[in-house]
Structure 1
Amino acid sequence: MTDTTPASAAPFDYFAHVELPTPSLGDDEVRRLFAQTFGVEIDLRSLGSQQDQNFRVFARGSDVPLGVLKISNPAFSEAEIDLQDRAAARVADHDPTLRVPRLVAGPRGPMSAWWDSSSGRVHARVLENISGSTLMGSGYLSPAVVARLGDLAARVSVALDGFTHPATARVLQWDARHALRVIDALLPGETDATVRESLRAATTDAAATLTPIGDRLPVQAGHFDITDDNVLRAEPGALPDAVIDFGDVTASWRVGEIATTVSSVLHHDGADALSTLPALRAFHARRRLTSDEIAAVWPLVVLRGVVLVLSGRAQVRIDDANDYAASALDREYRIFETATAVPIPVMTAAIRADLEGAPDGGDTDRAWRSGPLLTLAGEIAVLDAGTVSALNDDGAWLDDGALDRAAAAALDRGAACSVIPAWEPVLTGAPRRTPAAPATVPTGATVWLAEPTALTAAAVAGATVADGTLTWTDGRETVTITGLPADATAAELPARTRLFARRFPSDGAQPPARVVPALALAWRTVVGDVGPALGLPASPGPRHPSDDLLERRYRVVADVQEHYYTAPPQIERGWREYLMDVDGRVYLDMVNNVASVGHAHPRVVEAATRQMHLLNTNSRFHYGGITEYGEKIAATLPDELDTVFFVNSGSEAVDLALRLAMAATGRRDIVAMREAYHGWTFASDAISTSIADNPFALETRPDWVHTVVAANSYRGAHRDADAARYAPEAVADIDRIVAGGALPAGFVCETYFGNAGGVALPAGYLQEVYAAVRRHGGLAIADEVQVGFGRLGRWFWGFQEQGVVPDIVAVAKSIGAGHPLGAVITRREIADRYRTQGYFFSSTGGSPVSAAIGSAVLDVIQQEGLQDNARDVGAHLAARLEDLGTRHPIIGRVHGSGLYLGVEFVRDRETREPATAETAAICDRLLELGVIMQPTGDHQNVLKIKPPLCVTKDSVDFFVDALARTLETGW
């Protein structure tokens, strides 16, 4: 029944076994043969494979895996199986940090034998079960995971360098060197004509690049199947650290190792060709690619996609019971489609630029060698349609027609031609909500002519017109001009008509009208700039990836003054709830409560501009703005809060509030709630105990600061219904502080627990605590810096939710809509007591411009119904988030009110263990999907959702949809 002799001494040759039905032993037969051969009674669980049969096996009654039973396809010889085992051992010995499966030893020795089975003579062996999970499926792969895939491929390649074995002479269908032969063998059998022709065209393009350099590509032994299915990570969220399945080990082109790996990235959620760059970069860092290998990578990825599609579809036709192969068909076709979405020369230029710093040996442009097609006499008005252009001010970027109006205005001023150059990102007309980087870089020039303009005589000879498109070619270069009227001729281009001109090699693909910024440099390398062909100035072109403003920031700005994200977009414009980067991508801003009424609100801009024309000076001068603005703020508050101080920030506002309390009471001690953040000045920092902002917050408090437990009803000492205990305990703490001889000047806390992510204080909390501190002669200070001014929707001020009136209110952030402005409001008698400390002034707090901006912001909130919008849109957003929580256990709770919400992520809803790493990764994924979001809380596990108050339902739906996609497909 079993022996150790090989079924065949000859190495496998795929072309002699094009059809390879998978072994199909039944479970009972496998258990019987296993016990007979290896002396162990087992339970088993079937695992998928395209051409082998795999099981995870357990000693009978045990839940600890004995290993993975691999029943090899009968076509493979014993030498080839030995090759696989020796290659795995070589990698494990060379790189002990990698987890690699070795052959398992059983009671009768190594578990490896030939079986005479119902599927014929097959080889069975047990390999170590490597714990963890694969990346199988089409969920999202983060750049870090993609980079690790490339690094693993490089480490295995380095380990197998110099490894030899007689069986490496075998011929496998997955060997990149034989891809064209495999395609020739399988393509005629493809029954879908459309699929067949797509595969044929892609193969021809790949072969054109690969064939001339094939003989120069280095050859060595390799794994050649380090894919998402064949790596493991020890736990969810960790980076892969194990490589399994050495079934495709052979000798082939070395570059095939990384080509195979990156192809497996392409079917994952949100992946495109550029998603592979982190893997290529990591491979190149450890296993440097030659110039020829860089040229070969993408053709090999394309051919891998073709082979996957043909092989998978062929396997299903001959083995329709193979569910593993059938389930892979969609993702294999997605690999092919994604690989071919970018032309090979363009993707190769992008890879070369990323790895070597230049797309094509340092030449980033193709010179125009012919004469210009047009003779333009007079001024050429070059229009800037980019992110920082004034053309896009006041929301004009939303209207693509703004380009035509700007061009017409230039022509009216006497310009002979208006032009938007190629290769410079265009914001005008950009989409508002983009789950992927949009194509914002034009590959051609947009031109408006003042007068009808004839082509040069030489150009007319090579030009034709059809369907409103003029095409000129000299056989080497082609230029197209679209936008012509239907009756146009090649003799003349029309006046005051938007025309779009592109240039490309005559034997190459015509570029799309616009491309994503990350591919712009590569596309320009391949097709060139059309400007000189039209007699226009050459475009400066897209920025090179090495043009890194961030590095300059690191050199000049203190490290501790951090920025959002590890690799942040360069944001240079805002409008309403949107932020725009320099590449013309529009992001949804869901975190920016500073821009309370929306970015660049015209009324705020107008107020600031007008006042700058009039006066901006020290606030100690006498002018109307400071009085009028103070009256407006006071009118929003209870009557007794009638006196206003103006400062520059929330930190200063809280600092001043504390000084007022100290001056009014003649005391220095302050009681504050723990886990709160109040600012960075000496006094506001002293009462801040958020360990997210200062890990040593509690142990470094000065002796005049006393704290009470954070009244967090979700994560604190008392949760849910028990949260009613916080207030009596805080009162008892205040009584003990007083009994110890420290009379409090005041009690300070956020009126809505903002640092925790928008957690409401327990009902009645402030009523009891304010009463206690006042009973001992202290004052109640409300920190409204984050939640004041209508953000909570139902209440204009946070303290209104608690049914109390504080003695001092500190507010900032939203009141200036991004302008440095803060205020402290109190009773007249408290304000007057400050004179015991001297006098107070803030040079620019309440300055004419600050007062004008603050007044405009308050007007906008009130007159445009933004508090109502916060209530209505916030309720809709909260409901959608709550619904999301019913489907995803990582959502522990949705906190907040209005447009001050928090989504708290936990690893376990019972223990409420904070999902800190997951929250950071989720924010990074949301950025990729076009949403600006950041974590908050002491554990940094809460999404702080506080968008501009003008945010719409469509925008918050986009945010929730992006979050849902992230939770469903991974981060």
Structure 2
Amino acid sequence: MTEQVFDFFANPELPTPTLSIDEVRRLMNETFGLACHVSELGSQQDQNFVVSDTASTAPIGVLKLSNPVFTEAEIDLQDLAAATVSEREPTLRVPQVVDGPRGPMSAWWDTSQGRIHARVITHVSGATLTGSGYLSPATVARMGELAAKVSVALADLRHPASVRVLQWDLRHAERVIATLAPDEPDTEVRQFASAVAESAQSRLDAVSSRLPTQLGHFDIVDDNVIGKPGALPDAVIDFGDVSESWAVNEIAVTVSSLLHHDGLTPADTLPAILAFHSIRPLSEDEVDAIWPLVALRGVVLALSGRQQVRLDAKNEYANAALEREFLVLRQAASVPFEVMGECIRRAVGFAPRPRPVWDAAPLVDRLTGAVTLDAGTMSPLNDEGRWLDQGALGDAALAALDGGAPAAVAPAWRPRLAGAPARTPAAPATVPTALTLWLAADTTVAVPADGRLVPTDDGFTIVTGEHAVRFSVAGPAGDRGQLPARTPIDVQFTRADAGEVPLLVEPAYAVGWQTLAGDPAPSLGLPATADEADDDTLALRERVLADVQEHYYARPPRIERGWREYLADVDGRVYLDMVNNVASVGHAHPRVVEAANRQMRLLNTNSRFNYRVIAEYADRISATLPDELDTVFFVNSGSEATDLAIRIAMAATDRTDIVAMREAYHGWTYASDAVSTSIADNPNALATRPSWVHTVDAANSYRGVHRGADAARYAPEAVQVIDDLAAAGSLPAGFICESYFGNAGGVALPDGYLAQVYAAVRRHGGLAIADEVQVGYGRLGEWFWGFQQQQAIPDVVAVAKSVGSGQPIGVVVTRRDIADRYRTGGYFFSSTGGSPVSSAIGMAVLEVIEKEGLQENARVVGAHLKGRLLALVDQYPIVGTVHGSGFYLGLEFVRDRVTLEPATEETAAICDRLLTLGVVMQPTGDYQNVFKIKPPLCISKESVDYFVDSLERVLATGW
């Protein structure tokens, strides 16, 4: 145990063993008495094989042939570390040396390539995170958790071989890089890596003497953790890099391994660091060291990988890793160390570093009375989609100057929606580090006595003491302190040593950049911009709303604006809304807004007063329906509409029994809930139906009891149920179903279904009720009403959602004779149903659908969207089928196309991943495995293409 251990600097080249499979099989038999099948695995510097039983092919373990440079003491250290973690952290699966026919399978082999140590260790079932696929925040956090648990388990372990000197020990990164860089043939790579290393090392040197050391795994990376299918990683493998080093290296190495995964940014690694800190608390020095260490790890990975390929060109594992190793380096260097360090500090709860503060005389005077412009998400400046106009903020500023203001100012550090891009796969830079200034007159900057003016390409910078104020002018700029009138000028206040600070940064990094840049307002003699309080909206909602009144997503963005098919959060991130049939003609449609505004100024009262707009609106609605459906009731929601439709049927027939289709959702009122049998909304739906509700099979031709051509059987069987009820004396008052099976994800009913079932219920004196709450109003493209697809006419139609484009409006339409029979049971009254404002809005919605051709848009663009979705069925086995028509589509996900096992968890995870790409999508169906694709009817072809492109990315790279 006292033999000399490995020192990388004495052995900088480590060619991998390359024994043949035949030689390995022979030695396995000779040494361990095991006849077996072996297949090779990849490795950077060792050689690994899966060892399987020759008869059953069941895995026995993993054979590890250690690089010949490693000593027996080091191999003993690796085994001890693995055994210690397994004992102290039983929640983790850790491989151990396997007992074979002749005892533990661990020995030195005399091979064709010299003396090599061989061990067979436990085969751990599951899969690694190898590759560059997407990692969810939960997986990222689990990586940090695994690293912390191993670090804690090994904290007090000691071993003579722990002093081994590995190239991966980041204490030696400076020497490793100095050894490898001169041999790097690519000048650009060498210079970039060296520059990053120099910057990282200088920051690390400030704290390195205070970093505690311990024994650690120091290679808990994506390739070395394993999870069972559908579960988070719970196994740690490959203890080959065990040694003594700075304890913080454990999390730094883990974080670096995340950076090449699809879409993952430095800020996205914070859950790993937080999870680590919650188990093994980090000191402030360790927090300051993390990102420089991540960067140094990236440099070592990139240079070592490239060297290994030069030494061993046939090493496919090393070759395949080159691109992702260099991506780790680029990502680590993409955010300044000081910025990322502050982001980490704030995330773990440490006090913020001080911000630069201007405490000298103003550089500009005569700005009293300057107008402050709000470019944020909720500002009226961004109404009616003006945020899409890059010039909207400038127009508002010039209007303020024309109104007599000496200046207009858009503050720094307030997220700006104005000018923000739409359809972005990552959060865009929307937080300004500079204020933007417009002046009414040319102005000269006063250079302080202790300051100096430095000309720049786009203006000039005033440097005074430890601070600098940069003036960037859009257009011709003087270089001697002259600021032109009526021209946007970005004024940025930074530390003099800050280097270049972008004018716009992503919200996730804003707190970090504030260590380098402060509020420039006081440097101009303007009031300091007040710090914004932490957003407590979600906490407030969860405190005062009932838990059952859920919200989308576990960590939802705070959405405060909509426009057309877009939604915007308070950070200025714009999302594509693919789920919102409530906003049928688009969010904040100007015609709808104006109608509401105008009518609200005139009159809004209860519907018993005599005003014209309610009559005109009822007339317009009935004109879209068959002639016999000529009498209208107004309520406030889809639930109320279906409830009233059921009550009308009961009153008109003097009966109480209702027949409904299973797996449907009709609402939350007593009657509408009674006929709702979706187990997604109520797991006990069928068992808790009142006795007056009778059900027929869900007519789902994809996953129902009858599929494909056999779906033609649904209608005769439903007819039989109705006939049997009548024969038993339970004459039905009516039959209700969605005329296009919306709850299941927009599944078309079998051809002729409604005609047959409607005829049956009418034959026994009942009424046919069409629930058009989701599918009516042109959403299907080919048809304005869902029942038109079936060439059947109901007796009662209930509709909501689309009719108000966000205003709570529910409508029931029936025949005059049926409505009159409801009157015999008393009167009907809904205070705000059909109110003047609701009626005016409803009229405007109909006008927009007609004048803007939105039904035709649903037909044409919806067909294009469906075609693109259908193409996914051939590419990805998880995509079962595409349902629907127009802009009422359902994309169904399954784990098996034969059994149709629903991919419920996967669907939820895909929705979460789409949100990170800027797309709002939610599941539907009894098993929550169907996308409910029902965007605003105005959505463009470009937007639906972005949706499918994003979905393809998710399906290809993971969720």
2:37 to 37, 43, 47: 43
Q: TM-score, normalised by structure 1?
A: 0.98
Matches within 5 A, 1:852-871: 852-871=840-859
Matches within 5 A, 1:765-776: 765-776=753-764
Q: Distance in 2 between matches of 1:875 and 1:456?
A: 63
1:520 to 502, 510, 518: 510
State the match for 1:3 in structure 2.
Answer: none
State the match for 2:400 in structure 1.
Answer: 410
- Give the CA deviation at 1:485: 4.4
- Give the CA deviation at 1:484: 5.5
Q: Distance in 2 between matches of 1:323 and 1:485?
A: 53
Q: Distance in 2 between matches of 1:382 and 1:818?
A: 32
Q: Distance in 2 between matches of 1:718 and 1:114?
A: 64
1:13 to 7, 17, 27: 7
1:186 to 173, 180, 186: 180
Structure 2 portions without partners, runs of 5+:
none
- Give the CA deviation at 1:144: 0.5
Matches within 5 A, 1:359-374: 359-360=352-353, 363=354, 365-374=355-364
The answer on 1:899 being equivalent to 2:887 is yes
The answer on 1:708 being equivalent to 2:696 is yes
The answer on 1:814 being equivalent to 2:808 is no
Q: Distance in 2 between matches of 1:480 and 1:526?
A: 13
- Give the CA deviation at 1:196: 1.4
1:764 to 732, 752, 759: 752
State the match for 2:600 in structure 1.
Answer: 612
CA offsets per residue over residues 83-135 of structure 1, 9 Å max, x none? 00110000111111211000011111111111121222111111111111100
CA offsets per residue over residues 717-738 of structure 1, 9 Å max, x none? 0011110000011011111112
- Residue 367 of structure 1 aligns to a residue whose secondary structure is coil
Q: Distance in 1 between matches of 2:292 and 2:632?
A: 69
State the match for 2:901 in structure 1.
Answer: 913
1:538 to 528, 538, 544: 528
Structure 1 letter corresponding to 2:605? T
Structure 1 letter corresponding to 2:421? P
The answer on 1:307 being equivalent to 2:295 is no
The answer on 1:443 being equivalent to 2:433 is yes
State the match for 1:427 in structure 2.
Answer: 417
- Residue 375 of structure 2 aligns to a residue whose secondary structure is coil
The answer on 1:742 being equivalent to 2:738 is no
State the match for 1:60 in structure 2.
Answer: 54
The answer on 1:98 being equivalent to 2:92 is yes
Q: Distance in 1 between matches of 2:532 and 2:221?
A: 33
2:17 to 20, 23, 34: 23
- Give the CA deviation at 1:371: 2.6
Residue range with higher mean Cα deviation, 750-759 or 29-38:
29-38
1:474 to 464, 487, 490: 464
State the match for 2:281 in structure 1.
Answer: 288
- Residue 522 of structure 2 aligns to a residue whose secondary structure is helix
Structure 2 letter corresponding to 1:451? A
Q: Distance in 2 between matches of 1:302 and 1:729?
A: 67
State the match for 1:586 in structure 2.
Answer: 574
State the match for 1:751 in structure 2.
Answer: 739
The answer on 1:662 being equivalent to 2:662 is no
Q: Distance in 2 between matches of 1:886 and 1:570?
A: 37
The answer on 1:231 being equivalent to 2:225 is yes
Residue range with higher mean Cα deviation, 608-617 or 486-495:
486-495
Q: Distance in 2 between matches of 1:621 and 1:242?
A: 71
- Residue 16 of structure 1 aligns to a residue whose secondary structure is coil
Q: Distance in 1 between matches of 2:447 and 2:365?
A: 10
- Give the CA deviation at 1:673: 0.5
Structure 1 letter corresponding to 2:318? A
Matches within 5 A, 1:340-739: 340-356=333-349, 358-360=351-353, 363=354, 365-458=355-448, 462-474=452-464, 476-483=466-473, 485-486=475-476, 488-541=478-531, 544=534, 547-739=535-727
- Give the CA deviation at 1:489: 2.8
1:802 to 790, 812, 816: 790
Q: Distance in 2 between matches of 1:174 and 1:276?
A: 21
Q: Distance in 2 between matches of 1:835 and 1:508?
A: 78
CA offsets per residue over residues 666-717 of structure 1, 9 Å max, x none? 1111111011000011110111001100111111111111111111111110
Contact 1:788/1:796, CA 8 A, preserved across alignment:
yes
Q: Distance in 2 between matches of 1:320 and 1:541?
A: 56
Q: Distance in 2 between matches of 1:897 and 1:358?
A: 55
CA offsets per residue over residues 808-832 of structure 1, 9 Å max, x none? 0000000000000010000001001
CA offsets per residue over residues 321-350 of structure 1, 9 Å max, x none? 211111111000100111111000000100
Contact 1:153/1:283, CA 8 A, preserved across alignment:
yes
The answer on 1:836 being equivalent to 2:824 is yes
CA offsets per residue over residues 38-61 of structure 1, 9 Å max, x none? 111221111011110111112334
| Aligned Cα root-mean-square deviation (Å) | 1.3
Contact 1:394/1:602, CA 8 A, preserved across alignment:
yes
Q: Distance in 1 between matches of 2:190 and 2:897?
A: 51
CA offsets per residue over residues 867-912 of structure 1, 9 Å max, x none? 0000000000000000011100101110000100000000000000
CA offsets per residue over residues 336-380 of structure 1, 9 Å max, x none? 1111110000001001111115433xx4x3222333221234311
Contact 1:133/1:232, CA 8 A, preserved across alignment:
yes
Q: Distance in 2 between matches of 1:497 and 1:696?
A: 65
- Residue 164 of structure 1 aligns to a residue whose secondary structure is coil
Contact 1:788/1:797, CA 8 A, preserved across alignment:
yes
Contact 1:359/1:522, CA 8 A, preserved across alignment:
no
Contact 1:755/1:936, CA 8 A, preserved across alignment:
yes
Q: Distance in 2 between matches of 1:822 and 1:612?
A: 19
Q: Distance in 2 between matches of 1:898 and 1:880?
A: 13
- Give the CA deviation at 1:487: 5.6
- Residue 330 of structure 2 aligns to a residue whose secondary structure is helix
Q: Distance in 1 between matches of 2:560 and 2:4?
A: 65
CA offsets per residue over residues 935-954 of structure 1, 9 Å max, x none? 00000000000000001110
1:159 to 153, 158, 167: 153
2:262 to 250, 265, 269: 269
CA offsets per residue over residues 569-623 of structure 1, 9 Å max, x none? 1000000000000000110000000000000000000100000111111111001
CA offsets per residue over residues 193-223 of structure 1, 9 Å max, x none? 2211211221122112211211211111111
- Residue 126 of structure 1 aligns to a residue whose secondary structure is strand
CA offsets per residue over residues 248-303 of structure 1, 9 Å max, x none? 01111111001000110000000100110111111111111111111111111011
Q: Distance in 1 between matches of 2:849 and 2:432?
A: 39
Q: Distance in 2 between matches of 1:969 and 1:555?
A: 37
State the match for 1:140 in structure 2.
Answer: 134
Q: Distance in 2 between matches of 1:830 and 1:663?
A: 9
Q: Distance in 2 between matches of 1:197 and 1:449?
A: 44
The answer on 1:241 being equivalent to 2:229 is no
Contact 1:423/1:542, CA 8 A, preserved across alignment:
no
Aligned residues: 959
Q: Distance in 2 between matches of 1:482 and 1:208?
A: 31
Q: Distance in 2 between matches of 1:482 and 1:269?
A: 35
Q: Distance in 1 between matches of 2:911 and 2:451?
A: 57
Structure 1 letter corresponding to 2:264? A
Q: What's the % identity of the aligned pairs?
A: 65
State the match for 2:208 in structure 1.
Answer: 214
Residue range with higher mean Cα deviation, 24-33 or 597-606:
24-33
1:852–1:719 Cα change, 3 Å: same
- Give the CA deviation at 1:461: 5.2
Matches within 5 A, 1:118-129: 118-129=112-123
1:114–1:648 Cα change, 3 Å: same
CA offsets per residue over residues 479-509 of structure 1, 9 Å max, x none? 2211254461323211111111222222223
